[in-house]
Amino acid sequence: MQAHAPDAVDLSKESEATKKLYGIDEPFTDDFGRKCLLARRLVERGVRFIQLFSGTNLGDDWDDAHNDLVGALGKMCKRTDKPIAGLLRDLEARGLLDETLVVWGSEFGRTPLAEGKNGRDHHPYAFSNWFAGGGVKGGRVIGSSDDFGLRAQDDKVDCHDVNGTILGLLGMDHLKLTYFYQGRDQRLTDVHGEHEFAARLLS
């Protein structure tokens, strides 16, 4: 790995058109754009799992939205939309998207009720993820929330189901990856995740 890493992370070999696609050298998108371009380069080299993180630890509420939901959301979208769109287009153009599953998500959503004047608190009861590539058929929505976005309502999918679905799309049956330990059956989806919606994502 050490022998191949310098070449993999050398973005200077990419064309100016490709860098522009990802928003590299643009103020808002440069950081995450470089991460997305590096992800594509790792996919090309056969790396099987890649995780990208977008957020700040600058104390300015960009990614937490406790004080300014509208402002924070606008900034984070501006920071990530162009790079992730560039990654999807680039993977597709290179024939890599069909064999690469892209999962976009967060650890929780935001409350539909105001926190302070214009903020939102952490909210694990209703939020969205999206999937692309990996054989997933696009343009469909699974599940919904109530009218206020407070709780998942129809066709609920919890985090265990999401994990089970990801494993299913990778060709693994999470129910078979089970072993008995400390008095209970353990698996990668804990003891939950009975519902798998992978088939609906593929058809």
Mean pLDDT for 70-99 is 94
Strand partners, 144: 154
Q: From 76, 75, 83, 77, select the one nearest 25 (Cα to Cα).
A: 83
Beta-sheet strands, E only, within the chain: 101-104, 109-110, 122-123, 130-133, 144-145, 152-154, 178-181, 184-187
Q: Of residues 20 and 63, which shows the higher confidence score?
A: 20
Which residues have a Cβ under 8 Å from the Cβ of 136 and sit 6 or more positions away?
101, 169, 201, 202
Chain centre distance of CA 106: 7
Total-model pTM:
0.87
Mean pLDDT for 68-73 is 84
Q: What's 185's DSSP letter?
A: E
pLDDT at site 197: 67
